[in-house]
Amino acid sequence: MTLHTGGAAGAGTWRLGDLTVNRIGFGAMRLTGSAPFDLGTPSDRERSIRVLRRAVELGVNHIDTAAFYFSSLRSANELINRALAPYPDDLLIATKVWPGRDPSGEWWWATPGQLRGQVEENLRQLGRDHLDLVNLRIPPSRQASSIAEHFGALAELRDAGLIRHLGVSNATLEHLAEARSIAPVACVQNPYGIGAPPEAGAVLRACGEQDVAFVPFFTIAGEGREAGAGAGDGSQILSVARAHGATAAQVRLAWTLRQGAHVLVIPGTRDPGHLAENVAAGALRLSDDEMARLSSHHRRSGADLGSC
């Protein structure tokens, strides 16, 4: 038995910039193939288009994408354009820049002066004259470094009208403070879920205190990251799932949503059935006792992850 719901509104709403969105959104990374980027076989184009249209039908009005989400035959931005343009007025499409991939799939990192080209690439692919939200995805090598030059370049593009709202991704507390000193920050997009390290929770809490949306990714995948969910669902997660007739993925999403009203999730899939299950997680109400049991698992897992 699987939990069912009427749509993405079941988890409530929050603000992203000047738009109010349902707290369950959709991540486009997995639309392009059996594995992210060019690591698997390309997806069925029409099926991916149906998944996007069905997501909107279910009330999803926040989609996360990037120009570097492409496989040998599929581009997430092109699929979004084909499926959803002309775009609904209440749909917010978020993208991200700083990393990039050349046509062969090789990764590269943009200089501040190259960020405009990445923004314009997203504009062309999505068929837009502005981007609703652009996250500056911070590289692992810059976790202890300033992002002022790159974020300042995006702030200039915002002032020029190419971007409506800005966010930061893979950000520390210091990055958030530095970015907010330059321009308004609509969201922080960091990995987070059951088993996340303790410092991840500090950023989540700071966002709540500062009225900034927190948009976690890898909420279902956990340690599997781009490879997807693995066999890491412990007995507490599975026990709670059985009690609700739900899946472990739904429990992970419901637990994450309970971390604060400002938390928005963006689970991704290319499977229509998984899409419906992910959206249904917004209607899953965990008891305080279940939250405590899962949080105990979270603290143990976080300690293990932190020592790796």
- The answer to whether residue 87 is catalytic is no
CB contact at 8 A, 179 and 153: no
Phi, then psi, of 135 in degrees rounded to 5? -95, 135
| DSSP designation for 220 | T
- Sign, Cα dihedral of 290, 292, 296, 301: positive
CB contact at 8 A, 80 and 52: yes
**Catalytic residue from among 14, 69, 98, 151:** 69
Sort residue 193 into left (φ over 0), alpha (ψ -120 to 50) or beta: left
Characterize the bridge pairing of strands 107-109 and 131-137: unpaired
Dist. CA 201–CA 46, nearest whole Å? 39
CB contact at 8 A, 211 and 14: no
Question: Which residues are known catalytic residues?
Answer: 69
